[in-house]
Every structure is written in C-alpha cells, then in structure tokens.
Amino acid sequence: MKLFNLSQQHIIPAEEADPVSLAELKEHPEAYAVALEPDESVEALRPFLAQITLVVLHFPIFRDGRAFTQARSLREYEDYKEEIRVTGHVLPDQAAFLRRCGVDTVVLSDDDDQTEWEAQLKRFTITYQQSIAS
Amino acid sequence: MKQPVGHYAYESRDREFLQERIAEFEDQVKRRLSGALSEEEFKPLRLMNGIYLQVHAYMLRVAIPYGILDSRQLRKLAHVAQRYDRGYGHFTTRQNIQFNWIALEDAPAILRDLAEADMHAIQTSGNCIRNITSDEYAGAARDELMDPRVHAEILRQWSTLHPEFTFLPRKFKIAISGSPEDRVAARFHDIGLLARPSENGPLFRVFVGGGLGRTPVVGQELFDSVPEAELLATLEATLRVYNAYGRRDNLYRARIKILVQTIGIEPFREAVKAELAKMDLSHYRLTPERVAAIRARFAAPELHAVDDADAVLAQHQKEDPDFARWVQSNTHPHFDEGYSIATVSLKTPGDIPGDVTAEQMDGLADIAERFAFSELRVTHLQNIVLGHVRKDQLYALWQGLKELNLAAPNIGLAGDIVSCPGLDYCTLANARSLPLARKLGARFGDARLQEEIGALSINISGCINACGHHHAGHIGILGVDKRGSEFYQILLGGQAGDHASIGAILGPALSEDDAVAAIARIIDHYLAHRNEQESFLEMVTRLGKAPFKEVAYETV
C-alpha cells in the first residue's frame, strides 16, 4: 500500500493511520482518523472534527461518485482543513475530480503506477466551473 | 471568423480544452489496449466521449449543444459521415447526431476533425449531465418570452466535466425553454427549466423528476421562480441531493425521478433548500456580467424584411398548391412579420425518421447559408429548423429542399413520426422500430390525407427504455419480445408540453403488419366520428380508449 499525494499538503504516512469507523468514534475520543462509508453523512462528524486530522472516504467501485460529494461537503459545509484520503476502486482518470473536490491523498496498491496519476492530474489546464480546491 | 448566429462562439480556451479532452481519450484507448484499463473501467470513459458498442459496430453520438448547428459544422458532420461512416447520420430525439458504423480506432481522428469545427461528443452518454436541450424556435418564435440559449450555454459550460457530478447514479438530462408553450417537454426531464423575463431579470420555473423510460413520470415543480443569480446554486444543490441519495443498487431505480417519487416532492424540496441554506450563495452567484459575457459571443441575425414579403409569399402560394401545403404545415410564426420559421422534415415518406445523407447535409448547409444566416436547429422531433427565413424567399428555399428530397409537408402530422433506432442497431431493443416507422410513413404518406387527419404525433420505441418517447405520443408504439418474435403494443393519448400526460396501453401487442392495420383503423374511426374541428387527441380525451380499442382489435 502506498499513497499518492494530490494536493502536496502535509500528509499522514500510510503506516501511521489507523482509522476508526463512525460508530467507533464515539467510544474513542482520542481517535484522530475516521473512515466514512459512502452512505454516511459528513455532518455526523461535526462534534469530532476539532480532534480529527484524517478522514478516509471509500469508493466501493469507481463509478460510485458519492465520495466526491462527501469530500466537497467536508470542505465547504464543515470547514474541515485537515487531510481527506480516498480508498477503494479509483482510477487515475479521476485524479483532477478528486483534487477539485478537496481530496488530498489516494491509497494505491504497491504495483499501481504513480506516473499515470501524475500525468492525469496535470492533464487539463482548463476547467469550466469553480471548485472547492484547484 | 464571424461569430455564429444562435450559438456560442468558441474562444481559444474552449479549443484548448477540446484538444486536452481528445488527448485524454487517446491515452485511455491506449491504456485499454495495453490492459491497464479493464473493459469495465474503459466503458464509462468511452461513453462519456459518446462512444457506444451497438449490435454490429461502434456508434459515435456527437453533441449538438441546445440543438444549434452552423453550416460549417453541418459540413463537418457530412465529412465524418462520408469518411468514417456509410455516408449518413441519424438525428436523435435529444438534438444530437449519431454515426452508427464507425471503427473504434478511428474515434480519436473523428474527434479531432469535429474539434476543427468546435464540436465534440463530450457527455452524450454516461452517468453524467448530458447535452442540454432547448427550444427549436428559440430566438425566433413570436410567442417566446426570452431566448433560453444563453443560459443553455452557461449550463453546458457549468456541466462540462463537473468534478462532483461526473459519476452520478444514472444519466441526467436537462432541458430549457423560454416559451409559454414548453416546446422542450420540460416535464419529461430530470430537470426542466422554463425561463421568463421579469423586472428584476430572468426567472426560472424548475421541474424535477420527470422522464420516460421504464417508469414514465411527469415531473413536478420544484421551484416556481428561481432568480438568475441563484440558477447555478439551485442546480448544484439539486444534483448534490441526487448524488448523495439516488439509488445505486438497481440500474432501473437510479434516476432522480425514483428518488423524488420515493421520498415525495415536499421532502425533496426541503432537502434542496437545506443544501442551499448551507451554501454561501454569493460564491455561486450567476452575475449579470457573466451572462453578458456569454451573450456577447452569440451573434444575433440582422433582419431586413422587405415591405411586400407577404404579398410575394401569397402569390407563390396561389401559383403552387404543393408549396402552399408545405407552408401550411412546415412554417411557424416569426416575431418579425417579414420572416418565417421553416421546418425541414427529415421524415420523407418511406425513409428512416431522422436519417440524413452526407449529400443532404451539405445541401442543407448551403441552403442555411443562403436563406437562414447559416444557422440550423435540430429538433427533439428529429427534424431541422431554419429559424429566420424571409417570407419572400420561402419559395426558393422550398425548391432547394425539393431537390434534396427534404420537402415533405408533414410537420406535426401523421408522417412526422419519431422513432428510436431499434433492434436494427441497438443492443437494448426488443424489436425493430424502423421498418414499422417506414411502413406507417408510407401508409400515411399522402399529403392530402395527412392534412385531413390534422395534428397527430406517432412515437415508436423498440423497448421500454423509451428513446422514441412512445408514452408521450398521441399514438405510441412499443416494441416487445413475445417468445422470440417482435410484437408491438399501442398506446393512446400521451402528450408532452403544458398538459403533459402518459399514454394508456390499448390492449395486447400485435405483429408488425397487424399494428399498422390497427393504427389505420383507429385513424379511420377518428375521421368518421370526430366532431367538427376536433383533433385526434381531443377525441381520445373526450371518449377514452374504449371505442378505439374496439376498432383496433376488430379483426384480430
């Protein structure tokens, strides 16, 4: 497992993060990393966000775009400034969309090609709408 | 280059963007061939570039934003038809054009050729916001309240590669009209917008959750009067709710109409309002400056009517009854008394509805250049509209159309049949729709008979996905599979527009020839028993389907 850094922000190393689920979060006030499922609302994180420095969002399959809305909501509605990471089935073709919705890092498997991600991230110099990050 | 009439003139950034998009697609094809992308991963990526795999070959669906083409673009489409396809193209009910016989390896070259004329195939398929459709009489009709195309262009740009809404639960179709007549079937779209002017700028009535397909639903009003400044915020909020809560477990339950039906329009509206309440609206404001900047890239036609246009037209009509009949059915009132809106029927009796050869495309491009400011509009009924034609030049226009075999006088009449491509091309279809369309077209081909029958829409779909909008036809036909044979269900009484309703199934499905005969008997019954001035639809509404059912099945 390795991380691809989309935003060039400071990130938490892959081996250090041990996210808890939303349900577990209530029992673990010391937790700083949480993993949200696609059907869980980011609003539920609100009471804990002061302590959270990593939110991990999940793509069950690359076509399931709910994490885009979750990430953007975290940034826009919850004013969350720390790291957002995505895991699961994502394509390098989605790199710029992820970045523009506020995602910082992507979990890749060890044999995934990072150069493909770098190329896709830089592909479009022109966008047609504002976004929460660029 | 002069700015085009009726659509947005590209600037260099728009052209750069198309080149970036083509390079991306070329790379995706390479990665598919190398195995870096699986077929499952590649499929949605190619679909978002308009490329489908059909029964016999790949199909490319080219976007025609809000249905507007200029002559230069139509000539480019003719070139694509000639060079990469079998010499023709098919205009669709979503104002796009499809090429049915392309090779996948040619796709990047085709996209490059199209880009030379500022065209593309972006988001003509896939689970994203599709091409924005609009009113075919926009900017020309006498009854129009405002030209919706500037806002259609703003929505086109806003929806292009939207970072949050490119992997939605299902496809998402938006239509916009500025006419009180709702010529875009706003209530049969995921979002339908009806624009109108007010003292404080444009207002938008927003409908949500309409659609045909397996579960036909008439859309409901979400908001009555959204101000221009909040148009994009409102669409963002609506799509956010859909992306978060639309179903993803069942392909057939994933459209926004199912979400709206399941939770109800009130709770849906509350959810959209809750999003809006969380948004900083100043951040999403569509400013008058932005609208003006887009508007400045649209050229308006310079109209110079001659004083005796009406007299000249009347004289031509008197001299040539065939021309008079065409004027009667194929023209529509223009806001300028000296001009007319002319519809070119792509429903020549016995031909495939919406099909146009490369020669006809080139010929139409010439005609548009000569008579209509080089502007053409593709309609959701699969015809072509020329928006601004001088009345005294209609006769010369019509003669040019006759030479192209495109002068059928049947707009809004029985021969103006809407049909999907059906099983001849489409992998989803249960039955062929084109042979039936051709037989019906030939059966009612006689111009005098059509004139006598009057207003009538016939819509044919080859399966329940309803691309031929069979639920919205006065007479709808649905192809079904009955133990391996093609059969056809008949529906009566559907309509789009302000009084949108869904047709009712008449009875058991019939074979192709029996269906044609049954429809002929339905029409005969109408002609024999109608009240004075009563249209077919009015008679169906008055009497219900029972008497028509009786005659339809009398010999079966």
Would you call B281 an interface residue with chain A, using a CB distance cutoff of 8 Å? Answer: no
Residue B54's pLDDT is: 85
Determine the Cα–Cα distance for residues B536 and B450; give it in Å rounded to an integer: 12
CA angle B149, B364, B449 (to 5 degrees): 95
Burial state string for B7-37 with b = 16 or more CB within 10 A and e = fewer than 16: bbebeeebeebbeebbebbebbbebbeeebb
Cβ pair B160, B193 in contact under 8 A: no
Contact B45/A93, CB-based, under 8 Å? yes
| Domain boundaries B12-116, CATH class | alpha beta
Domain with A85, as residue range(s), is 2-121
Determine the Cα–Cα distance for residues B85 and B312; give it in Å rounded to an integer: 42
Among the partner residues B24, B162, B240, nearest to A129 by beta-carbon distance: B162
Cβ pair B204, B194 in contact under 8 A: yes
CATH number assigned to the domain covering B418-552: 3.30.413.10
Maximum Cα–Cα distance across chain A: 45
Length of chain B: 556
Structure-block tokens of residue B264? 């109800």
Neighbours of A24 (CB within 10 A): 12
Which residues of chain B have a CB within 8 Å of the CB of A100? 163
Among the partner residues B44, B163, B278, nearest to A101 by beta-carbon distance: B163
Structure-block tokens of residue B228? 């221009």
Q: Alpha helices, DSSP H only, in B148-204?
A: 149-159
Instruction: Quote the minimal CA–CA distance from B554 to chain A in Å.
Output: 51
Would you call A134 an interface residue with chain B, using a CB distance cutoff of 8 Å? Answer: no
Cβ pair B133, B53 in contact under 8 A: no
- Which H or E run includes B450? helix B447-453
Instruction: Quote the minimal CA–CA distance from A114 to chain B in Å.
Output: 13
| Domain boundaries B133-295, CATH class | alpha beta
Among the partner residues A64, A96, A116, nearest to B248 by beta-carbon distance: A64
Which residues of chain A have a CB within 8 Å of the CB of B279? 76
Instruction: Quote the minimal CA–CA distance from B332 to chain A in Å.
Output: 36
Number of structural domains chain A divides into = 1
| Domain boundaries B309-403, CATH class | alpha beta
Structure-block tokens of residue A38? 């696609």
The terminus-to-terminus CA distance of chain B in angstroms comes to 62
Contact A68/B20, CB-based, under 8 Å? no
Find the CATH number of the domain harbouring A28: 3.20.20
pLDDT digits (tens, 9 = 90+) for B377-398: 999 999 999 999 999 999 999 9
Domain residue ranges in chain B: 12-116, 133-295, 309-403, 418-552
Cβ pair A86, A7 in contact under 8 A: no
Instruction: Quote the minimal CA–CA distance from B212 to chain A in Å.
Output: 24
| Residue A97 lies inside a defined structural domain of this protein | yes
The terminus-to-terminus CA distance of chain A in angstroms comes to 26
DSSP B301: P
Tell whether the torsion through CA atoms of A86, A87, A92 and A94 is positive or negative.
negative
Pairing of strands B339-344, B58-62: unpaired
Instruction: Quote the minimal CA–CA distance from B501 to chain A in Å.
Output: 33
Q: Which of B459, B385, B365 is nearest to B74 (CA)?
A: B365
Tell me the β-bridge partners of A54. Answer: A33, A83
Q: Which residue has the higher pLDDT, B350 or B304?
A: B304
CB proximity list for B85: less than 8 A, separation 6 or greater: B99, B100, B101, B102
CA angle B166, B255, B246 (to 5 degrees): 70
Contact A66/B240, CB-based, under 8 Å? no
Q: What mean pLDDT do residues B163-187 have?
A: 95
Chain A, 14 to 73: residues with Cβ < 8 Å from chain B are 62-66, 68-70, 72-73
Determine the Cα–Cα distance for residues A128 and B330; give it in Å rounded to an integer: 38
Contact A101/B167, CB-based, under 8 Å? no
Amino acid letter, A90: V
Instruction: Quote the minimal CA–CA distance from B20 to chain A in Å.
Output: 6
- Which H or E run includes B81? helix B71-84
Average pLDDT, chain A: 95
Which chain A residue has the Cα nearest residue B14?
A: A126
DSSP B545: S
| B interface test, pick of A63, A117, A123 with most B CB neighbours within 10 Å | A63
Q: Which of B222, B66, B76 is nearest to B139 (CA)?
A: B66
Which chain B residue has the Cα nearest residue A72?
A: B164
DSSP B122: T
Would you call B45 an interface residue with chain A, using a CB distance cutoff of 8 Å? Answer: yes
pLDDT digits (tens, 9 = 90+) for B494-525: 998 888 899 999 999 999 999 999 999 999 99
Q: Alpha helices, DSSP H only, in A51-132?
A: 66-76, 95-100, 114-121
Residue B51's pLDDT is: 95
Residue whose token pair is 């509009």: B377
| B interface test, pick of A40, A42, A64, A69 with most B CB neighbours within 10 Å | A69
Contact B244/A124, CB-based, under 8 Å? no
Structure-block tokens of residue B277? 């309440």
Which residues of chain B have a CB within 8 Å of the CB of A96? 163
Would you call B243 an interface residue with chain A, using a CB distance cutoff of 8 Å? Answer: yes
Which residues of chain B have a CB within 8 Å of the CB of A78? none
Neighbours of B502 (CB within 10 A): 17
pLDDT digits (tens, 9 = 90+) for B10-65: 999 999 999 999 999 999 999 999 999 999 999 999 999 999 988 888 999 999 99
Structure-block tokens of residue A71? 């990430």
Q: Alpha helices, DSSP H only, in B264-407?
A: 265-278, 281-284, 288-295, 309-319, 321-330, 358-371, 394-403
What confidence tier does A101 reach under pLDDT thresholds 50, 70, 90? very high
**E-only strand ranges, B74-124:** 88-91, 97-102
What confidence tier does B556 reach under pLDDT thresholds 50, 70, 90? low
Among the partner residues A97, A124, A128, nearest to B158 by beta-carbon distance: A128
Pairing of strands B51-53, B88-91: unpaired
Tell me if B133-295 shares its fold with B418-552.
Answer: yes
Among the partner residues B17, B37, B162, nearest to A126 by beta-carbon distance: B17
Is the pLDDT at B1 greater than 60? The verdict is no
What confidence tier does A134 reach under pLDDT thresholds 50, 70, 90? confident
Burial state string for B474-488 with b = 16 or more CB within 10 A and e = fewer than 16: bbbbbbeeeeeebbb
pLDDT digits (tens, 9 = 90+) for B179-221: 988 889 999 999 999 999 999 999 999 999 999 888 889 999 9
pLDDT digits (tens, 9 = 90+) for B268-294: 999 999 999 999 999 999 999 999 999
Q: What is the CA radius of gyration of chain A?
A: 14
Determine the Cα–Cα distance for residues B211 and B203; give it in Å rounded to an integer: 23
Cβ pair A71, A57 in contact under 8 A: yes
- Which H or E run includes B64? none
Cβ pair B532, B509 in contact under 8 A: no
Tell whether the torsion through CA atoms of B93, B94, B96 and B102 is positive or negative.
negative
Would you call B167 an interface residue with chain A, using a CB distance cutoff of 8 Å? Answer: yes
Length of chain A: 134
pLDDT digits (tens, 9 = 90+) for B402-427: 999 999 999 999 999 999 989 988 88
Neighbours of A46 (CB within 10 A): 12
pLDDT digits (tens, 9 = 90+) for A43-89: 999 999 999 999 999 999 999 999 999 999 999 999 999 999 999 99
CB proximity list for B253: less than 8 A, separation 6 or greater: B247
Q: How many helices (H) and strands (E) in chain A? A: 4, 6
Which residues of chain B have a CB within 8 Å of the CB of A94? 167
Provide the phi-psi class of B344: left if phi over 0, else alpha when psi is between -120 and 50, else beta. beta
Burial state string for B428-459 with b = 16 or more CB within 10 A and e = fewer than 16: ebbbbbbbbbbbbbebbbebeebeebbebbbb
How far is C-alpha B179 from the geometric centre of its chain's CA atoms? 16
Instruction: Quote the minimal CA–CA distance from A126 to chain B in Å.
Output: 6
CA distances from A85 to A44, A74, A132 (A): 18, 12, 16
Instruction: Quote the minimal CA–CA distance from B416 to chain A in Å.
Output: 38
DSSP B352: P
Would you call A97 an interface residue with chain B, using a CB distance cutoff of 8 Å? Answer: yes
ipTM surpasses cut 0.90 = yes
Which chain B residue has the Cα nearest residue A97?
A: B163
Neighbours of B3 (CB within 10 A): 13
DSSP A30: T
Structure-block tokens of residue B455? 């207003």
Structure-block tokens of residue B513? 């020839």
Which residues of chain A have a CB within 8 Å of the CB of B165? 65, 68
- In chain B, the percentage of residues whose pLDDT exceeds 90 is 92
- Give the A:B interface size as CB pairs under 8 Å: 85
Residue A115's pLDDT is: 94
B207 phi and psi angles, rounded to 5 deg: -105, 145
